[in-house]
Amino acid sequence: QVQLVESGGGLVQPGGSLRLSCAASGSIYFINNMGWYRQAPGKQRELVGRIVRGSPTNYADSVKGRFTISRDNAKNTVYLQMDGLRPEDTAVYYCNAVLQASAIDILQNYWGQGTQVTVSS
């Protein structure tokens, strides 16, 4: 029922910028939080940042000051603005949402399919 679709990934040079988008669609009653994770080659998935309803935005130390998460509640969309990209940022970026699909459902995790970000000269 619920789908998360990421877009905006691609190949950029070091120091460049990208903006990722994630739109949630389907049966959505309430979104508690939305965020971004990434998984680099040979590494485990890690949190990039997330917006929790009623709480400050949380960022990983490795991206703080360079990445910015924003959310458009009306569109059920979360964005990841990435500036000052480094080769170490190369990874598949995944959108995540914790939401309630209907008034009688519990909060559940949903994941997007991922979008590739490659930072290279």
The pLDDT of residue 33:
93
Write the pLDDT tens digit of every residue in 34-86: 999 999 999 999 999 999 877 889 999 999 999 999 999 889 999 999 999 99
Spatial contact of 43 and 62, defined as CB atoms under 8 Å apart: no
What is the average pLDDT value for the chain, to the nearest integer?
A: 95
Spatial contact of 80 and 104, defined as CB atoms under 8 Å apart: no
Spatial contact of 117 and 19, defined as CB atoms under 8 Å apart: no
Across 56-77, b (16+ Cβ under 10 Å) vs e yields eeebeeebeeebbbebeeeebb
